[in-house]
Amino acid sequence: MDPPPNALKSLGLHVDGHYLNAARVFFAMPPALALRCAVFATCTSATIIDQHDFNGDILTLIEEAEKYILKNIRIGMKLDGLARLDVPEIDREAFREAIINAFCHRDYRDPDEVRIAIFHDRVEVRNPGRLMEGVTLRTLKTAKVFRRRNPLIADLLRRIHLIEAWGRGIPLIIEKAPHARFSEIASVFITEFPRPPAAGDSVTKSQPRFDATGQVTGQVSEEVKRLLGIVRKEMSRQEIQFALALRGRENFEARYLKPALEAAFIERTIPDKPNSRLQKYRLTEKGRGFAATLNPP
């Protein structure tokens, strides 16, 4: 259902009997905006393991892009008193700001869509449109004044408090994600967030490793540490998952159970029948030794 013309006139979106482009952007008028998201198996785009296309208005697509990133990056945890807080491996405010910037400042004359590309080592937010005249990649991080390519869209986003009037998008990204990088390739602007190495990845001394608190850690992920902290007897998959207060089986097996098995911290009680309904898991000698370092007497 199209919004009433009078309402659009009051927003400056209906002028002289014509809908402006910003009306299409905010109210999904045909042709609706598009968003393309993909996850790649490695550090290149050679192998796609997931792809999803979205259509809708600008606010819906901003939310879908954020949800897609959160679904496909590692999420740690930390405790704040008795509360459990999720900690994404990339700062949520930073990549959300990059998504908003991509839709706000893209070149709407270009038929291409905003894209989210998730690689093994980085996340990229891509939008069609080069930097505005007078701003270069060299001056982007230090520029004090920015011109707006789409002032009406920017003003509407400011009204609903998604952006500020003073162009703090890039400074906020840099503040929250200091290692973020910016580039231009073939008239596409790219904001890139490096992903911290996961447990099991090769790491150099200069590379921090992600754990649940965002601090540098060793070869064992926080998820595996949590699992080792609760396995004190033979336990089924359901019992371990319940003790960790985790709901999703796929997430539990990918981030907790499988890494612990691969690291030989735990073992199956029925190793020749891994899918047995009677299957349970117990600590190995190696697992007991490491668990003792987590909870010394």
Question: Which of 28-32, 100-104, 151-155, 231-235 is the least confident region?
Answer: 28-32
- pLDDT tens digits, one per residue of 74-88: 888 777 777 778 889
- pLDDT tens digits, one per residue of 20-35: 777 888 887 777 899 9
The domain made up of 32-194 has a fold known as Heat Shock Protein 90 (3.30.565)
Structural domain spans, the chain:
32-194, 222-294
Residue 133: the pLDDT is: 77
The domain made up of 222-294 has a fold known as Arc Repressor Mutant, subunit A (1.10.10)
**Residue 61 above 70 pLDDT?**
yes
Residue 117: the pLDDT is: 97
Alpha-carbon 282 to chain mean position:
33
- pLDDT tens digits, one per residue of 144-174: 656 778 888 988 888 888 876 556 788 899 9
**Residue 199 above 60 pLDDT?**
no
For the segment 238-252, the average pLDDT, to the nearest whole number, is 90
